[in-house]
Amino acid sequence: MSDFDYDLFVIGAGSGGVRASRIAASHGARVAVAEEYRVGGTCVIRGCVPKKLLVYGSHFAEDLSDARRFGWDTKGATFDWPTLRDNVAAEVDRLEGLYGQTFANNKVEVFHERATLSGPQSIKLASGKEITARTILVATGAWPSVPPIPGADLGITSNEVFHLPALPKRAVIAGAGYIANEFAGIFNELGVEVTLVTRGDKMLRSYDQEIVEKLVGISREKGIDIRMNFPFKGAQKQADGSILIDGGDAGMIETDLLMWAIGRVPNTANLGLEEVGVSLDATGAVVVGADNRTNIESIYAVGDVTNRVQLTPVAIREGHAFADSVFGNNPQTIDYGCIPTAVFSNPPIAGVGLTEEEARAKLADVKIYRSDFRAMKNVLAGRNERALYKMIVDGATDKVVGLHLIGPDSGEILQAAAIAVKAGLTKQAFDDTVALHPSMAEELVLMK
Q: Do the annotations mark residue 200 as ligand-binding?
A: no
d(CA 139, CA 312): 12
Nearest one of 273, 313, 350 to 49, comparing CA atoms: 313
Which residues in 179-214 are b (16+ Cβ under 10 Å) and which e?
Answer: bbbbbbbbbbbbebbbbbbbbeeebbeebbbbbbeb
Residue 295 counted as an annotated binding residue: no
The secondary structure of residue 303, as a DSSP letter, is G
- Residue 269 near residue 115, CB atoms below 8 Å: no
The type of residue at 103 is F
* CA distances in angstroms from 275 to 116, 190, 278, listed in the order given: 10, 47, 8
Q: Is residue 185 a known part of a binding site? A: no
Is 191 annotated in a binding site? The answer is no
Q: Measured between alpha carbons, how far is residue 72 from residues 62, 218, 275, 390 in Å? A: 13, 26, 64, 34
In the chain, the amino acid numbered 78 is T
Is 243 within 8 Å of 156 (Cβ atoms)? no
Does the annotation place 304 within a ligand binding site?
yes
CA–centroid distance for 213 within its chain = 20
Helix (H, G, I), strand (E, B) or coil at 4: coil
CA distances from 173 to 46, 209, 225, 385 (A): 17, 21, 10, 24
Closest among 370, 342, 371, 366 to 354, alpha carbons compared: 366
Asked if residue 362 belongs to a known ligand binding site, the reply is: no
Count of other CB atoms within 10 angstroms of residue 65: 14
On whether 176 is known to bind a ligand per the annotation, the reply is yes
207 annotated as a binding-site residue: no
- Say whether 180 counts as a known binding-site residue: yes
Is the CB of residue 400 less than 8 Å from the CB of residue 414? Answer: no
**What b-and-e string marks burial along 158-175, b requiring 16 or more CB atoms within 10 Å of the CB?**
beebbeeeebbebbbbbb
Catalytic residue numbers, as ranges: 437
Classify the C-alpha dihedral 51-53-54-55 as positive or negative: positive
Binding-site positions: 52, 175-182, 263, 304
Binding-site positions for FAD: 52, 304
Binding-site positions for NAD(+): 175-182, 263
